[in-house]
């Protein structure tokens, strides 16, 4: 997580652009796929287990014939968001881009899983508001900071505590936890039980 990126500057808003409608729409793709399209948005601290859970859930859904795609925070920062650092403005732009990509994938009829710290509740709400009701499912992986630090798979907490990594969520940057997530997971519990809960809620309330 390099801190030497240049923050994104506001650019002039493009003009003379018109949304181009497609012959095929989301409803047709959903009918072909046999399930609704939506975004399952995992949020939580670094090391909370959200990426692992998102990956395991995608496998479980895929094995059930659900058309899926997983967007991971680090992966997108290798390409689409490689020009962004970790300032507040860059983090907001990072999440905005992810939201726009997610919307396109929903339009393609997919179940999109995302794994992002996404610390700002306002930015998460903006993505929810940009979609139709029921298309955005917020999954809060609530893992105590001490457990996240003990895991520290990338050594980021150690660097943050040593002052080598600034603006790190949970240490010197705020994480705004969801107050009313669509699905709440206790990140200290075994992954198997969390996946069972996810599948149960999705089956009964959203997907099947």
10 pLDDT more than 90: no
> What ranges make up the beta strands (E) of the chain?
38-43, 68-72, 111-115, 136-142, 183-186
Q: Model confidence over 19-77: pLDDT tens digits?
A: 777 778 888 999 999 999 999 999 999 999 999 999 999 999 999 999 999 998 888 99
Using DSSP, state whether 140 is helix, strand or coil.
strand
pLDDT per residue as tens digits for the range 63-80:
999 999 999 888 899 999
pLDDT above 50: residue 8: yes
44 assigned to a ligand binding site: yes
Closest CA to 151 of 45, 2, 55, 3: 45
Q: How much is the pLDDT for 16? A: 74
Residue 51 assigned as binding residue: yes
CA pair distance 123, 15, nearest whole angstrom: 25
pTM for this one? 0.88
Comparing 5-19, 64-78, 102-116, 157-171, the range with the smallest average pLDDT is: 5-19
Residues annotated catalytic, as ranges:
118
Question: How much is the mean pLDDT over the chain?
Answer: 90
Beginning with the edge strand found earlier in the chain, give each strand of the sheet holding 38-43 in spatial order: 68-72, 111-115, 38-43, 136-142, 183-186
The pLDDT value recorded for residue 59 is: 97
- For 90-107, the pLDDT digits (tens) are 999 999 999 999 999 999
Give the DSSP per-residue string, 49-68. Answer: SHHHHHHHHHHHHHHTT--E
Q: Go through the domains of the chain in sequence order and give each one's CATH number.
A: 26-203 (3.40.50.300)
What three-state secondary structure class fits 4?
coil
Q: Are 45 and 148 in contact (CB under 8 A)?
A: yes
Report the alpha-carbon distance of residue 37 to residue 188 in Å, rounded.
30
Give the torsion sign (CA, 154, 115, 7, 168): negative
- 45 annotated as ligand-binding: yes
CB 46 within 8 A of CB 117: yes
| Residue 48 annotated as lining a ligand binding site | yes
50 assigned binding-site residue: yes
């Amino acid at each position: 997580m390099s801190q030497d990126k240049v923050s994104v500057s506001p650019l002039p808003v493009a003009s003379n652009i018109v949304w181009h409608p497609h012959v095929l729409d989301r409803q047709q793709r959903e009918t072909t796929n046999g399930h609704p399209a939506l975004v399952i948005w995992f949020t939580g601290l670094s090391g909370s287990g959200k990426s692992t859970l998102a990956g395991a859930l995608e496998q479980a859904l895929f094995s059930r014939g659900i058309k899926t795609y997983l967007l991971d925070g680090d992966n997108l920062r290798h390409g689409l968001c490689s020009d962004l650092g970790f300032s507040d403005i860059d983090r907001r732009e990072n999440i905005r881009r992810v939201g726009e990509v997610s919307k396109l994938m929903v339009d393609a009829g997919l179940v999109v899983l995302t794994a992002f710290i996404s610390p700002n509740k306002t930015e998460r709400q903006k993505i929810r508001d940009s979609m139709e009701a029921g298309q955005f499912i917020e999954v809060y992986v609530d893992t105590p900071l001490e457990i996240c630090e003990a895991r520290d798979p990338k050594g980021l907490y150690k660097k943050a505590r040593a002052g080598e990594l600034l603006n790190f969520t949970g240490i010197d940057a705020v994480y705004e936890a969801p107050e009313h997530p669509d699905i709440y997971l206790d990140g200290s519990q075994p992954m198997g039980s969390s996946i069972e809960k996810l599948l149960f809620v999705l089956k009964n309330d959203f997907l099947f």
